[in-house]
Amino acid sequence: MPSRSSRPRRGAAVAASLALLAAPLVATAAPANAAEPRVSNPFAGATQYVNDFWSANVEAAADRAGGDLGSRMRAIADEPTAVWMDRISAIEGNADGPGLRHHLDAAIEQKQPGVPMVFNLVIYDLPGRDCYALASNGELKPNATDMARYKTEYIDVIADILDDPAYEDLRVVATIEPDSLPNLVTNISTPDCQASAPYYREGVAYALDALHAVGNVYSYIDAAHAGWLGWPSNGGPAAKLFKEVVLSTEAGYASVAGFVTNTANSTPLHEPFLEDVQLGSTPVRSASFYEWNADFDEADWTAHLYDLLVAEGFPTSIGMLIDTSRNGWGGADRPTAVSTSTNLNTYVDESRVDRRIHRGAWCNPAGAGIGERPQASPAGFPESHLHAYVWVKPPGESDGASSDIPNDQGKRFDRMCDPTFVSPKLSNQLTGALPDAPLAGQWFESQFRMLVENAYPAIEGDGTGGPADTTAPSVPTGLTAGATTTTSASVSWTASTDDRGVTGYTVLVDGAAVGTTSTTSFTVTGLEAGTSYAVTVRARDAAGNVSAASAPLTVTTDEDDGSGGDDQPPSAPTGLRVTGTTTSTVALAWNASTDDTGVTGYRVFRDGTQVAEVAATSFTDTGLTAGTAHVYAVRAVDAAGNLSATSGTVTGETDEDGGQPAGACTVVYSASSWNTGFTGSIRLTNDSAQALQSWTLTFDFPDGQSITQGWSAQYAQTGSTVTVTPAAWNTTLGAGASVEIGFNGSHSGTNDEPTAFTLNGASCTVG
């Protein structure tokens, strides 16, 4: 796996390199404030980012609902929700919403002086994504080519954006790849999950290292939910798998802040009427609904998972997040007391707040409600070591389409989302899914109405539970136009007043809501060049009361004069990487920039000084001294001479002249066994001072094991001897570089590990 540690981040050496890089590009710069030290719980003492595009959907739904329901909808319009990067195009922005930088910039605007701000981000685009369910399949396939795209076009680009000093005061909390690693615990027998397994492991490890290197990112690995991994036969292997993947990173345990459960699911936080573990002499967990799973709820599962992880070696400082966006289960069907029945199944069915027909009914379940509001360090479950309740999946976004909807996102039709389907997985019952659902991630208003109506704790119209507030804020005044471009226009206004306080504003363009803000300014994006628009603003308070619209302000975007008047710079190059080194050269490559009139070339900078201008997206720097490190960056230029922003930086270090002999190596081998099967993982490191342009690894199985399927390399076995040669994408193994490979196999007996490995005929150290 390509090393992320070679990319410089914060620290004295990095600061010096970046200072050199910045010198010829800007005339002056204000001294940067020191980045905040890492904290044990990023949510403690912090506010959280409110996604204005989700809030706009809520506001629009509230307008349509009207009355008390509309008031209750508005009461949660300012709750923080996560921003999902569910495909590569989401990074820059696509038809489903604005890009990552838009949200980060908005978070900076929302940040109060002296108060930390948490920005919740979901990393969700692994090759072979969601290998068991179909509704959230993704754009990348489980193969080496798309694995490379995941790294260079997705993770590297996100990491480079987050590494912008403009965002160093944010605490970025990243939910890492929902449903991926849990599928390898329970669904590895399916062909799709077997094909995805090596890419899940490699991709998650790569993402953890890349994000940890940024400095202010706190990663939480998705850990499914109680109704998936709660059984001891699942929980124990899950903890071991999490350990294996985390220890395969360069940062190890430091790469994770904790784990997040119940993402996009509706398993209750707590089952208050099922505290007793026995009904007479019968274990409650033996009821049909729980199927011998003793973890009835997320409080149980997070406490259980914490103990398992610490037993595996994770630090005791790890924390848990629970997604409570749709697990409230309130409304008229919520039980109010423990059942008096002496029949076990009746007792459980009448006592449980989870009203699903089966715990496996995961897609848009009817009757669900919004749960606890996002909050830091929630009390009541000390054994769970909770960092926060969060809304990872924004309420009102579909879990999957209820019918087949053609799309270009890789999402498929899963019958678990079809309300007419009798599912064998649900004990031959109907799925209980809502009808007329759109694609996963799309706004699903009937679901949102249901979630608000069934919320527990109930949502009060005034947001506080006190006497109803029916007084709307004053109308915003003094709308003023600010800066414009061909596609955007900034506006500002005078603050409204309210008897209980204004909580935010909705901005409308030609009468349609385009976003919300808690400040008195907003930049409207996605406009047409040379076009006039009528902008109005409405204020809202904590009770959801909305003012009348302001007087309209006409704003006109700039004309697009073509290349002759081109003042739009190209996009910054992304994915800058070192592709090879010798004692005197460093080879670089990067992803192409885009421009409205066309990119004509790229300027390459070494240690802050331009050393080349090339037309291609690669360059080899020559004439360097052996054993020296240099910081590289790239800027794109268009026909009008406009320069892009600087790419992320990367460090290229020439090979030492001498040192360890070619062939010196270290191998770390691990295996996870079940019945007569096992998964083997190998981390091979080239300890020599020279890059290997080709390599062959050999070893002997001591216990009659046999490889049945491999990944990230080519495998041949004769008797007990295994010969491993590289895949097309990892033929070169740089000096000091490592590669992760693995395989599935069968065994009998104890499945003892190989004890000796040779690389190109030279013996390796076994780690």
Catalytically annotated residues: 179
Instruction: Look at phi and psi of residue 245 and say left if phi exceeds 0, alpha if psi is from -120 to 50, else beta.
Output: alpha
Q: Would you say the C-alpha torsion 180, 185, 186, 191 has a positive or negative sign?
A: positive
Distance in angstroms (rounded) separating the CA atoms of residues 310 and 357: 34
Question: What span, in angstroms and rounded, lies between the C-alpha atoms of 681 and 427?
Answer: 36
- Other Cβ atoms closer than 10 A to 744: 17
Q: Are strands 757-759 and 738-746 parallel, antiparallel or unpaired?
A: unpaired
> DSSP readout, 169-186?
TEEEEEEE-TTHHHHHHH
Nearest to 85 by CA among 35, 141, 138: 138
Measured distance CA(690)–CA(344) in Å, rounded: 68
- For residue 106, the SS3 value is helix
Contact 557, 488 (CB under 8 A): yes
d(CA 259, CA 321): 6
The rounded distance, in Å, linking the Cα atoms of 125 and 285 is: 36
For residue 221, the cross-strand partners are 176, 259
574 Cβ contact partners less than 8 Å away, ≥ 6 residues apart: 152, 153, 156, 157, 160, 590, 591, 647, 648
Q: 264: which 2 tokens?
A: 């996009």
Find the helix packing angle between 232-247 and 191-214, rounded to 10°. 50
Pairs from 721-729 (Cβ < 8 Å, separation ≥ 24) = 722/698, 723/696, 723/697, 723/698, 724/682, 724/696, 724/697, 724/698, 725/694, 725/695, 725/696, 725/697, 726/694, 726/695, 727/144, 728/144, 729/144, 729/145, 729/147, 729/148
> Both tokens of residue 674?
């079940």
DSSP 440: T
- Separation CA 46–CA 596 (nearest Å): 40
Contacts of 84 (CB under 8 A, 6+ apart): 90, 122, 124, 441
Residue 89 has φ and ψ, to the nearest 5°, of: -65, -20
- Torsion, Cα 631 636 641 644, to 10 degrees, reads -80
Cis omega (within 30 of 0) on the bond before 268? no
Partnered with residue 757 across adjacent β-strands are: 699
Residue 657 CB coordination number (10 Å):
12
